[in-house]
Amino acid sequence: MKKCLVLNCSYEPLSIIGWRKAFVLCNFSVDDKPSARVEKEYDETFNTISDTFKKPSVIVLRKQIPIRPRRVRLSSEAVFKRDNNFCQYCGVKCNSKNISVDHIIPKSKGGKNTWSNLVTACFSCNNKKGSKTLDECGMELNRLPFTPVWPNDPDTPEEWEDYLF
């Protein structure tokens, strides 16, 4: 089922809903104006009794809704996505066969499973670092780790890419 990205009127991502609900928000009103407008559509269409429409891909709400930034759930896949599958030590682009997650401060030395302590590493760099700190093994990070903001979905439709930051 096609999903639809909902943007605040300030173009901040709010949520992801089904395309049917998005169609209703954009085509039916409570106070003579629909709650949202279609910003982008999929090429895929659907039929009503009287017409054919394209499925909405991105909609923008008419009124601003106050929100707090949402955090992405910590997982290996999310760390790989954040780091774009690049080893944060040597800079090599990794594939699923030679990629791992490394603790900057090793677990054996009190390191936690947090966004600021986990990075993507190739097997070679991860083995070289082992359970040492960066100072102990003489390695450096190419980029400091950070906590990504939602949405961080690897299956993001290309129609949404201009609206996600």
Q: Which domain holds residue 125?
A: 76-137
Terminal CA-to-CA distance of the chain, rounded, Å?
24
Percentage with pLDDT > 70 across the chain: 93
Please tell me the predicted confidence (pLDDT) of residue 56.
Answer: 96
Asked, for residue 19, whether it belongs to a domain, the answer is: yes
Per-residue pLDDT tens for 39-59?
A: 999 999 999 899 999 999 999
Please tell me the predicted confidence (pLDDT) of residue 62.
Answer: 93
**80: CATH:** 1.10.30.50
Q: Are residues 106 and 157 in the same domain?
A: no
Q: Are residues 16 and 36 in the same domain?
A: yes
Asked, for residue 58, whether it belongs to a domain, the answer is: yes
Distance in angstroms (rounded) separating the CA atoms of residues 58 and 4: 5
Q: Are residues 33 and 13 in the same domain?
A: yes
Per-residue pLDDT tens for 95-143?
A: 888 899 999 999 999 999 999 999 999 999 999 999 999 999 999 999 9
Query: Which ranges in 28-146 belong to alpha helices (H)?
Result: 76-82, 123-129, 134-137
pTM above 0.75, yes or no: no
Asked, for residue 143, whether it belongs to a domain, the answer is: no
Q: Are residues 20 and 57 in the same domain?
A: yes
Per-residue pLDDT tens for 50-95?
A: 999 999 999 999 999 887 767 778 999 889 988 999 999 999 999 8
Q: Are residues 64 and 81 in the same domain?
A: no
Asked, for residue 142, whether it belongs to a domain, the answer is: no
Q: Are residues 14 and 64 in the same domain?
A: yes
3-state secondary structure of 82: helix
Q: Are residues 91 and 48 in the same domain?
A: no
Q: Are residues 125 and 109 in the same domain?
A: yes
Asked, for residue 145, whether it belongs to a domain, the answer is: no
Asked, for residue 110, whether it belongs to a domain, the answer is: yes
Distance in angstroms (rounded) separating the CA atoms of residues 31 and 42: 28
Distance in angstroms (rounded) separating the CA atoms of residues 84 and 58: 24
Asked, for residue 148, whether it belongs to a domain, the answer is: no
Backbone angles phi, psi at 42, to 5 degrees: -80, 165
Q: Are residues 81 and 38 in the same domain?
A: no
Please tell me the predicted confidence (pLDDT) of residue 155.
Answer: 67
Q: Are residues 9 and 62 in the same domain?
A: yes
Asked, for residue 49, whether it belongs to a domain, the answer is: yes
- How many domains does the structure of the chain reveal? 2
